[in-house]
Amino acid sequence: MKALRTLTAVLALGLCFVSAAFAAPKAITVASDATWPPMEFVDANKKIVGFDIDFMTAVAKEAGLQVTFKNTAWDGIFAGVEAGQYDAIISSVTITPERQAKYDFTNPYVQIGQILVVPKAEKGSKIADLKGKKVGAQIGTTGAMEVKKVAGVELKTYDEVGLAFEDMAAGRIAGVVCDEPTAITYALQKKEYSSKFKIVGKSFTKEAYGIVVKKGNKDLVAQLNKGIAAVQKKKIDAQLKKKWQLK
């Protein structure tokens, strides 16, 4: 009887620990290349902010997760999630077949497109009009991929998209291709560039952002998808789009 009582007590204690473990939100670390306003960037207080940051925070809350953000350079961001340095990436990552072969993605959460920004004196309205010239884009982005498709245009890549706009302001490149929300920020909203640049044409790709996790981590994908669904059902995403002036 004593042995039975002891076993019962041990099992009860174990169940308490299991219950407590599941009741407490799991802590996850999420990487973001905070150089891509208005989606993710560092503000005047050196804090990572932006639509993606607010969205991920809301998703984590709905999924019962505690989230910490890690500012990570784009050129190593995917290798980091593979190596287990963090649990996920939210960084304006377009879902592509090539990326899906290497990583798992959540359901899409934003629809965007690539667009061309040029100096105000430029007459061209599409990448093909800039043949014989250099066009900039951040390395490894779908913007860079689009420039590569156009014969006669030289692609110049940058670690950060802001460096491409600096080069265009200095006359070293003839255009920049990037996601439309980021193009609007640089060409229309930044005081140092609004009188120099213009957006030409309409977005010429149809893309969707997703949150990236290590291949095979189906449990985390399911948790995040649950959070995304709740955020969309409650229209929190619509509120954040209005806050960050997204279409």
pLDDT tens digits along 164-182: 999 999 999 999 999 999 9
The chain-wide mean pLDDT, for the chain, equals 91
Strands 175-179 and 114-119: antiparallel
Residue 56: pLDDT band by 50, 70, 90 thresholds? very high
What one-character DSSP code corresponds to residue 83? T
**Angle 191-195-197 from CA coordinates, rounded to 5°:** 100
Residue 240: pLDDT band by 50, 70, 90 thresholds? very high
Return the pLDDT at 247.
77
Q: What percent of the chain is modeled with pLDDT above 70?
A: 90
Please, which residues have CB within 8 angstroms of residue 209's CB and are 6 or more apart in sequence? 52, 92, 93, 94, 95, 108, 109, 110, 112
Instruction: Please give the C-alpha separations between residue 229 and each of 27, 107, 131, 184, in angstroms, as whole numbers.
Output: 20, 9, 44, 28
User: pTM for the full model?
Assistant: 0.86
Q: Span 106-129, mean pLDDT?
A: 96
Residue 84 has pLDDT above 90, yes or no: yes
Q: Span 234-241, mean pLDDT?
A: 98
Which of 8-22, 104-118, 174-188, 200-214 has the least mean pLDDT? 8-22
